[in-house]
Amino acid sequence: MAMKIAGLQKVSTIDYPGKICCVVFLHGCNFRCGFCHNPDLVVKNFDGGFSESGILDFLKKRVGKLDAVCITGGEPLMSLNFDFVRKIKELGFKVKLDTNGAFPSRLKEAIDLGLVDYIAMDVKSCWEDYSKVAGVEVDLKKIEKSIKLVHEFNRGSGCRGQSEFRTTIINRFHDAESMRALGKWLNEICGMKPRRFFLQGFKKNEEGMIDSDFLREKNVGEEFLNELKEEVGEFFEEVGVRG
């Protein structure tokens, strides 16, 4: 699948923790999460966008002004051109990769090539509910391989950068029981507590989502997120909440 750059956010102070970055959006995703805020990147036909050279020209003008580039989607590992990332690194930028974890071999390759400094993996739910939340049948063995890679990315003598796991909390899918099951599952895969986990509250996107039924879903507030934080605290070294 050829890489298609569908969008560019020129500056962000929230997408790469502690860094000022821009965000590059790649078209295409193998999941169909009904609550996705980027349906144009997932289900609609691609009819244009940005060229690799155009993004690199933009970045050359931002050397010294931006710290990093966040590459997201869609699912970027479906099509990410590693040579493009290498050129970003050569300009001196750190690179953060957002992924759903469905392509562990591609993730490992990016890590082994030294192309990423921060990895954020979306963990949709516990084992039993994963495919229901993702909207497709998910190969959970691949998800587990990616979880282990992301965990090992910032642990021990082989530490290569920073990483986090995160879950978007939705009332119809997540409760104390399912989140504790998620925490136990990650502990079993990693053989210990993962370092960093974030709970993100669902917010409906009035401009549209993949499944319009989620427009009737209630937004998730900090009170519920903090309740779940208490439930999963024992399974991670650090648990944070993002509204």
pLDDT at 2: 84
What average pLDDT does the segment 204-230 reach? 93
Residue 31 has pLDDT above 60, yes or no: yes
Strand 21-26 to strand 5-12: parallel, antiparallel, or no bridges (unpaired)? antiparallel
- pTM of the entire structure? 0.95
What average pLDDT does the segment 103-109 reach? 98
| C-alpha torsion angle, residues 78, 114, 109, 21 (rounded to 10) | -10
Domain covering 5-242, topology:
TIM Barrel (3.20.20)
Rounded (10°) angle between helices 82-90 and 52-60: 10
Which element (helix H / strand E) includes 96? strand 94-99
The answer to whether residues 117 and 46 touch, using CB atoms and an 8 Å cutoff, is: no
d(C-alpha 164, C-alpha 185), whole Å: 16
**Residue 131, class by beta-carbon neighbours within 10 Å (0-12 exposed, 13-18 middle, 19+ buried)?**
middle
d(C-alpha 52, C-alpha 56), whole Å: 6
227 Cβ neighbours under 8 A, 6+ residues apart: 176
d(C-alpha 84, C-alpha 68), whole Å: 14
pLDDT at 159: 63
Q: What is the DSSP secondary structure assignment for residue 30, as one 8-state letter?
A: S
Where would I find the H helices in the chain? Answer: 39-42, 52-60, 82-90, 104-112, 130-134, 140-153, 176-190, 222-232
Give the type of residue at 229: K
| Position with higher pLDDT, 41 vs 169 | 169
| C-alpha torsion angle, residues 97, 98, 101, 106 (rounded to 10) | -30
What average pLDDT does the segment 84-101 reach? 98
pLDDT at 155: 78
- Domain residues of the chain, as ranges? 5-242
pLDDT at 206: 86
CA distances from residue 207 to 37, 70, 89, 113, 242 in whole angstroms, order as listed: 9, 23, 34, 38, 21
